[in-house]
Amino acid sequence: MTAAAPAAPHPGKHKHARPPLQRAVLTGVVLGVVSIYLAAVGILLMIHGRAVIVDILTLGQEALLAIALGAGAFVARSERAMPPLQVILHSALAGLIAAGCLVGLVLATDALDLRSIFIAMSPQLINMLTFDFDEQWMGLLILLGSGAALSVLGALLSMAPKAVQKPVLVGLAAVTFFGVFQELIQIMMQFGDFIGAIRETLYTWEGLSLEGAAIIFVIAAACSVIWTKFRSRPGAAATPTPQQARTAKIAKIVIAVLLVVLFPVVAGSYIGQVLMLVGLYILMGMGLNLEVGLAGLLDLGFVAFFAVGAYTTALLTADSPHALAALSYWEAMPLAVCASVIVGILFGIPVLGVRGDYLAVATMGLGEIVRVIVQSDWAAPLLAGAQGILQIPKPFIGSLELSDPVELFFLTLACAAVAAYFAWRLETSRLGRAWMAVRDDEDVAQALGINLVKVKLLAYGLGAAFAGLAGSIFAVMLTSVYPSSFQLLVSINVLALIIVGGMGSLPGVIVGSLALVGLPELLREFGEYRYLFYGVALVLMMRIRPEGLWPSATRRRELRAAAEGVDPEIEPATTSLDEIAAPDAQQPGQ
């Protein structure tokens, strides 16, 4: 009997594998270049002004700590099969090289006067990198030693069991969060004596105290341990019964609703304002999701519908010479939505025969035409031109005026919930399947009897209805409307949140809005640098998770088939054309 031949190695699997020492050197060089970039463009010095732990650790120092720890962790993960001593030595080398790049930057600044090229290379940055030592060489030696030591620590943490590694990382992340956002958290903890006592325990007037950081670390690490034990308890991995799964799903929904309702009440007006803005983008995202995610109609002029809803509400409710009527908000809002639908249909007629990238350019042009008309002197007698329309009243419910941001957030939340229901029903309807068929292949859909004109105009009109509703709320939120509020960037942001959240997914729209609208608003205090973080997050998102944070099942299936190299002509269609052509009575969700 002949022995079975060993399996042949996958071609190219180890062809380009680098030696461990070379990988360690390359890791140190790459992270050192990243450190130099952060220092040269001014990010490092800017975040150095934000204390994580008062008088002990700043955000800039923590960024350098993270780079050094990351060097060791990366080396340890890439050398799992190597002896521990070799891993530690290579990790120390990677951290030493990364820190050495910063040392070289400091020496080059002194020798070549780099500040004439990079204005961020200031004495304050040099003092930060040399730990404020009068003897510069002493600070540079400490920088090199700490880089190597922290890299070794990162390697040891990476090699540690999950039971140790996870609580430590969770605790460090919690300390960073409570330290960076200390101003916002302290504002949210001003209500009640008990919460005020907790705030005084954790924070001083300047920020997070050392005792508070220790308490937060211990609590976060303990919660991580408890949660891990809860998830791994006997019977936890067993498949739940349908009744248990349904009960768990309902419980999650109830908890989520309670958090959404109670959080802005406890957190205050600023959080209410941020969440309201997130809600407006959720409304617009659900509308554009009908056009792009379901029908495949790339619309970069979507902000025009948002503007129509805002201006219609303003013209029908404002106490202004430009007002056409004196209606209440509840009377003007349906008219604003109807006006947006009409404009959406008119908007779609000129571009019915345009596809792909050309459609994006055409719709962008139509959106810019609307903005220019609103700003023009020709339309100024009606729309007030660049001066805008002022004195838009707040909505009333009986005698209660919805003037506070938290109250307006609840209005936005209610409208978003109703809109989400309609968007969900549209997605599962016969029209929704027709949209998906048009998105997959217009020619095949038309050959099977789908009226492309009707389907496309419905996509533009219904998508515009969501944007018009958001614009109507936006007008009463600001009590004024200006043309400058309706730039092309709004359309791009809405499209970006759909892509990040997950194309064609309603939950993805919500997650994308929180990630791309809510988080940048909370980071507004970092100035223009927040857009750099925003861009880096988008690039990483497209590289790591191209299907989105919460993609639809169809989108996930399509991307998985593409990644596996499956011919899309052989793959089952994502939309059953037989279902589209079937009678309405046989369609689920009708």
pLDDT digits (tens, 9 = 90+) for 234-274: 555 556 678 877 888 888 888 888 888 888 887 778 888 88
Q: Are 492 and 360 in contact (CB under 8 A)?
A: no
pLDDT-derived band at 453 (thresholds 50, 70, 90) equals very high
* String of DSSP letters for 147-188: HHHHHHHHHHHHHS-HHHHHHHHHHHHHHHHHHHTHHHHHHH
Of 130 and 562, the structure prediction assigns the larger pLDDT to 130
Q: Are 147 and 68 in contact (CB under 8 A)?
A: yes
pLDDT at res. 481: 92
**Over pLDDT 90: what percentage of the chain?**
43
* String of DSSP letters for 200-228: HHHB-SSSB-HHHHHHHHHHHHHHHHHHH
> Beta partners for 448?
none
Distances (CA, A) of 435 to 91, 95, 345, 349, 418: 54, 53, 16, 17, 21
pLDDT-derived band at 526 (thresholds 50, 70, 90) equals low
Looking at this protein, which amino acid is placed at residue 456? K
Please write the tens of the pLDDT for every residue from 142-172: 999 999 999 999 999 999 988 889 999 999 9
Of 100 and 42, the structure prediction assigns the larger pLDDT to 100
Judged by DSSP in three states, 401 sits in: strand
Q: State the average pLDDT over residues 107-129.
A: 82
Q: Which two tokens stand for residue 157?
A: 């943490």
**How many whole angstroms separate alpha carbon 427 and alpha carbon 287?**
12
297 contacts: CB under 8 Å, gap ≥ 6? 291, 359, 456, 459, 460
**Over pLDDT 70: what percentage of the chain?**
89
Among 471, 481, 332, smallest CA distance to 392 is for 481
Lowest mean pLDDT segment, chosen from 228-242, 259-273, 394-408, 506-520: 228-242
39 contacts: CB under 8 Å, gap ≥ 6? 45, 102, 105, 120, 121, 125, 129
446 contacts: CB under 8 Å, gap ≥ 6? 452
Please write the tens of the pLDDT for every residue from 277-316: 999 999 999 999 999 989 999 899 999 999 999 999 999 9
Lowest mean pLDDT segment, chosen from 30-39, 223-232, 569-578: 569-578
Lowest mean pLDDT segment, chosen from 74-88, 111-125, 198-212, 462-476: 111-125
pLDDT at res. 588: 38
Q: Is the per-residue pLDDT at 417 higher than 90?
A: yes
Of 589 and 280, the structure prediction assigns the larger pLDDT to 280
Q: State the average pLDDT over residues 58-67.
A: 91
Q: Is the per-residue pLDDT at 193 higher than 50?
A: yes
pLDDT at res. 568: 47
**What integer best gives the mean pLDDT of the chain?**
85
Q: State the average pLDDT over residues 434-454.
A: 91
Q: Is the per-residue pLDDT at 566 higher than 70?
A: no
Q: Is the per-residue pLDDT at 16 higher than 60?
A: no
Of 400 and 188, the structure prediction assigns the larger pLDDT to 400
Residue 251 CB coordination number (10 Å):
10
Q: Is the per-residue pLDDT at 570 higher than 50?
A: no
Please write the tens of the pLDDT for every residue from 338-377: 999 999 999 999 998 888 889 989 999 988 898 888 888 8
Among 492, 513, 465, 476, smallest CA distance to 306 is for 465
Lowest mean pLDDT segment, chosen from 9-23, 197-211, 319-333, 497-511: 9-23
**How many whole angstroms separate alpha carbon 118 and alpha carbon 322?**
51
pLDDT at res. 32: 94
- Angle separating helix axes 488-501 and 303-317, nearest 10 degrees: 120
